[in-house]
């Protein structure tokens, strides 16, 4: 039995190239935004010492947790072209 492999090369049209570049830019921006969101959440919720204070709480409001699932749902909204509900 002989297995054959094939190598394909795509040659997109100018319109397809424009669509692919738009998607790549959209995904790059979303990746950077999501990364910034996670880093911001970590910095806001991190305590400078290794234990919590009994007397005090964090100053200011603690943002809602940012995780894979909240960011995944934001990507679905972004792909459909609707605006995100940001507070």
Residues in CB range of 74: below 8 A, 6 or more apart: 30, 34, 84
pTM: 0.60
Separation of alpha carbons 78 and 31, rounded Å: 12
Task: Please say whether the beta carbons of 78 and 26 come within 8 A.
Answer: yes
8-56 pLDDT, tens digit per residue, is 998 999 999 999 999 899 889 989 998 998 888 877 777 666 666 555 5
CB 68 within 8 A of CB 85: no
Using DSSP, state whether 28 is helix, strand or coil.
helix
Alpha-carbon span 74 to 82, nearest angstrom: 10
């Amino acid at each position: 039995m002989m297995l054959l492999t094939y190598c394909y090369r795509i040659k997109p049209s100018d319109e397809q190239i424009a669509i692919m570049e738009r998607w790549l830019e959209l995904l790059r921006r979303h990746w950077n935004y999501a990364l910034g969101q996670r880093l911001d959440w970590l910095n806001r919720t991190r305590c400078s010492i290794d234990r919590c204070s009994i007397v005090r709480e964090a100053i200011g409001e603690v943002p809602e947790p940012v995780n894979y699932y909240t960011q995944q749902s934001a990507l679905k909204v972004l792909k459909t072209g609707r605006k995100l509900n940001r507070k």
